[in-house]
A and B are shown apart, each in its own frame.
Chain A
Amino acid sequence: MVRRLWRLLASHNLALALLALLGLAVLAGGTLPQAGRVSSEEFNAWYNAWPNLAVWSSFLRLDRVFSATWFLGLNLLLLINIAAGISVSISRRYALYKGKTSPRYRIIGSASQPASLPPLFDIADELGVSKNRSKGAIGLLGIPLFHLGIAIIILGGIWSGWAGFGGHFELSEGRTFDGRQDRLTVDRGTTLPVEFGARLRLDRVQVEVAEGKYLGELKAHVSVQQQGGPIRQAVVETNSPLRVGSYRIHPDNTLGYSAVFERIRPDGDRRRLYINVPVGLADWDSATPIQDTTLLELEGVPLYYDMTLHSGDKPELELLVRQAEKKRFEGRLIPGSVVDLEAYRLVFKGSVRWLGFYLTSDRPMRLVFVGFILTLAGFLLHLLVPFRRVALVVTPEGWEGMAWTMRGDYRFDEQWRCWLAQLPEDGA
């Protein structure tokens, strides 16, 4: 029973079935809109446009392929199949290396020795004695290494999906981020896997817009202090993330201006308040006022802020504050202006620039890349270094030539046939 199960798990047919199913699943997932990976509007529009297909897609969980349990199950089964296949493959290859399998080529000669040198033999070899010659033994490791790499990628991918973390946060010039969860919009994982343990201050934003609409340059000049250590300066830019402990911080190309306030509570407590307004690249360098509406709940009071921000040297803010439909404040603010909203007061301080960042932690990612390297190296080894073993055995009746190669080694095939052509017909 155990042996049958083992044979099934290591079988080539199971590998074929899993490859076919995974291929179809991945192509379906890449074609049909996936819930949570496209906007809800796009998803609903597709659902309404293709109602019959959508019902089937939903029934088969093809609208969330990559988070479906069956997809994970297929991957795990492939992992087991690969692991079992590697062990079988290694034992077969070891037998091949030792010449303990049936040779792929065989010839028997009646003379005391062959008339010419078989492939792999060199001029110094004596033909009248039994000898073995082999080449490219390391090539035998190619396919097992390739499969080991794939297994590591699957393992790393599953682990990464479970342990990986990613979240967006926004930071205005002069403001500090210390890893507080409530500053993050998490899109991967739930909570920070380990303590952030650092303070990150955005010192300066450097944005250049080319031809009025293309992002030419985006650099965040930051100061970082880890675990109370010395403060270091760094530049964060695309393709060059900032490493902070086990975290990496990437600019995510969102940017804009912040309206900066001082919020004063009735008990006299003062805190900075930044309201970030996103800006499109086309408006970044222009003097066009930027508009935004945001809902803020401070001191238990939810308020809508309708803002028109004039950034630049003389910042101004046109502000309308509503509670439901009731107007609480309307006016034009310059730095120093005060707004009394009963639950708290606001002092407008001006405007600064902000950038969006993506905070990520994904230790298993390294495992995936190790898997990629093994996969590529293994396959390259398989293609470039063919294993060949030739044995010449002298017997009382004459001699016997045998060769072991991998399937499809057409170059050796040619060499062997060439050798055979050199042998006299009556001697071999």
Chain B
Amino acid sequence: MSMVPQLQWAVVIAYVLAAILLAVSNRWSRAGIIALALTVVGLVVHLGILQLRWQAYGQLPIVTRYEDMTVDALMVVAVYLFAQWRIPWLRKTGLVVLPIAALGLGVALAYSMGSAPRVPALRTNWLIIHSQLNSLSIGAATIAAAAALFAKDKIEVQQAGRLLAWAFLFWAAMVAAGSYWASLAWGRYWGWDPIESWALGTLLCYAFVLHLRLKPGWRGRRGLMLGLIPYGVMLFTTYGLLLVRGSIHGSYLFQ
């Protein structure tokens, strides 16, 4: 476990280097392939860091803020690799996506790397489902936001719009899973807690953008760029809100 910070910084460097190589590469140039290989190696080491932590503490690393940000960064890179495999032009979004993942991973190190025994409320599979859907939606939303910046022609705009819809779906599933879990743990499925309210607010922002994109004047890049607003709201809900408002989520998680 003592070498984890060094490994984590190595992954940060790998992602940043990959982004730089992507910036100077063409689609199938050697630099582009090296960038991709570097990203894959970074992801494998990234996964290894979490595996080491899992072994050391005997519990899935998805509870503390350090763990949460590390898993989110992992999911951002994993979703990016999957998306660029399915839709090759998305490879260039790595220019934005990989530095974001590197930033998340670096900021994670600023938080305590300690762990705490898991309280009874967190000993359920719903924690895994809820937190992984959260990470997945952040991954999909990050790619969607980056795709909005890079999409050029009509088909690329449509594909970026589809990514926005996937981010919305994953976030909605995360909210639904959290709601069901809350009904089991606390006896109520919704309590208008600040985190819950902002999670719903994020969903409504995405719903607004998706509906707006159905209108003729908003089907192009203009409507797509508007998708950056719900992405910002999503990031604030996940990482910023607990810094300014107290929440029942903060008493269990993200210590």
- Complex Cα distance, B55 from A338, in Å, reads 57
> A23 and B117: CB pair below 8 A?
no
Q: Which residues of chain A come closer than 8 Å to B196, judged between CB atoms?
A: 30
> B211 and A16: CB pair below 8 A?
yes
Q: Mark A23-41, 1 if CB is under 8 A from B, else 0.
A: 1001101110010011000
* A339 contacts partner chain B, Cβ-Cβ < 8 Å: no
* B124 contacts partner chain A, Cβ-Cβ < 8 Å: yes
Within the complex, which residue of A34, A375, A407, A410 is in contact with B214, where a contact is CB–CB below 8 Å? A407
Within the complex, which residue of A23, A188, A380 is in contact with B205, where a contact is CB–CB below 8 Å? A23
* B37 contacts partner chain A, Cβ-Cβ < 8 Å: no
> A410 and B158: CB pair below 8 A?
yes
B contact residues, total (Cβ < 8 Å) = 51
Q: Which residues of chain A come closer than 8 Å to B208, judged between CB atoms?
A: 16, 19-20, 23
* A368 contacts partner chain B, Cβ-Cβ < 8 Å: yes
Q: Which residues of chain A come closer than 8 Å to B12, judged between CB atoms?
A: none
* B58 contacts partner chain A, Cβ-Cβ < 8 Å: no
Q: Which residues of chain A come closer than 8 Å to B123, judged between CB atoms?
A: 238-239
Q: Which residues of chain B come closer than 8 Å to A99, judged between CB atoms?
A: none
Which A residues from 187 to 229 make CB contacts under 8 A with B? 188, 210-211, 214-218
> A410 and B155: CB pair below 8 A?
yes
Within the complex, which residue of A166, A239, A380 is in contact with B169, where a contact is CB–CB below 8 Å? A380
CB distance from A101 to the nearest CB of B (A): 16
* B179 contacts partner chain A, Cβ-Cβ < 8 Å: yes
Q: Which residues of chain B come closer than 8 Å to A375, judged between CB atoms?
A: 172, 176
CB distance from A219 to the nearest CB of B (A): 9
* B3 contacts partner chain A, Cβ-Cβ < 8 Å: no
Which B residues from 78 to 117 make CB contacts under 8 A with A? 116-117
- Complex Cα distance, B126 from A413, in Å, reads 40
- B15-23, B69-77, B142-150, B185-193: which lies at the A interface? B185-193
- Complex Cα distance, B176 from A388, in Å, reads 31
- Complex Cα distance, B102 from A215, in Å, reads 35
Q: Which residues of chain A come closer than 8 Å to B172, judged between CB atoms?
A: 375-376, 379
On whether A358 and B186 interact (CB within 8 A), knowing A26-B204, A214-B116, the answer reads yes
- Complex Cα distance, B124 from A248, in Å, reads 18
Q: Mark A233-248, 1 if CB is under 8 A from B, else 0.
A: 0000111110000001
> A215 and B119: CB pair below 8 A?
yes
A contact residues, total (Cβ < 8 Å) = 56
- Complex Cα distance, B123 from A218, in Å, reads 12
Q: Which residues of chain A come closer than 8 Å to B241, judged between CB atoms?
A: 30
- Complex Cα distance, B80 from A421, in Å, reads 32
* B173 contacts partner chain A, Cβ-Cβ < 8 Å: yes
- Complex Cα distance, B81 from A133, in Å, reads 35
Within the complex, which residue of B117, B121, B155, B245 is in contact with A238, where a contact is CB–CB below 8 Å? B121
Nearest CB to that of B194 among chain A residues? A30
Q: Which residues of chain A come closer than 8 Å to B116, judged between CB atoms?
A: 211, 214
> B120 and A218: CB pair below 8 A?
yes
> A239 and B187: CB pair below 8 A?
no
Q: Which residues of chain B come closer than 8 Å to A300, judged between CB atoms?
A: none
Within the complex, which residue of B166, B198, B205, B211 is in contact with A30, where a contact is CB–CB below 8 Å? B198
* B250 contacts partner chain A, Cβ-Cβ < 8 Å: no
> B173 and A37: CB pair below 8 A?
no
* A100 contacts partner chain B, Cβ-Cβ < 8 Å: no
CB distance from A298 to the nearest CB of B (A): 31
> B120 and A215: CB pair below 8 A?
yes
CB distance from B215 to the nearest CB of A (A): 7
Which A residues from 362 to 408 make CB contacts under 8 A with B? 362, 365, 368-369, 372-373, 375-376, 379-380, 383, 407-408
CB distance from A35 to the nearest CB of B (A): 12
* B184 contacts partner chain A, Cβ-Cβ < 8 Å: yes
> B201 and A30: CB pair below 8 A?
yes
Within the complex, which residue of B161, B179, B233 is in contact with A372, where a contact is CB–CB below 8 Å? B179
Which A residues have a C-beta under 8 Å from some C-beta of B? Answer: 12, 15-16, 19-20, 22-23, 26-27, 29-31, 34, 37-38, 66, 157, 160, 164, 166, 188, 210-211, 214-218, 237-241, 248, 250, 252-253, 358-360, 362, 365, 368-369, 372-373, 375-376, 379-380, 383, 407-408, 410, 413-414
Complex A-B, nearest 8 residue pairs according to Cβ-Cβ distance, in ascending order: A30-B197, A23-B204, A372-B176, A360-B187, A210-B117, A27-B201, A238-B120, A250-B187
21 residue pairs of the A-B complex, CB under 8 angstroms, read A16-B211, A27-B201, A29-B192, A66-B192, A211-B117, A214-B119, A238-B120, A239-B181, A239-B184, A239-B185, A359-B187, A360-B187, A368-B179, A368-B189, A368-B190, A369-B176, A369-B183, A379-B168, A410-B158, A410-B162, A414-B155
Which B residues have a C-beta under 8 Å from some C-beta of A? Answer: 116-117, 119-121, 123-124, 126, 155, 158-159, 161-162, 165-166, 168-169, 172-173, 176, 179-181, 183-190, 192, 194-198, 200-201, 204-205, 207-208, 211-212, 214-215, 233, 241, 245-246
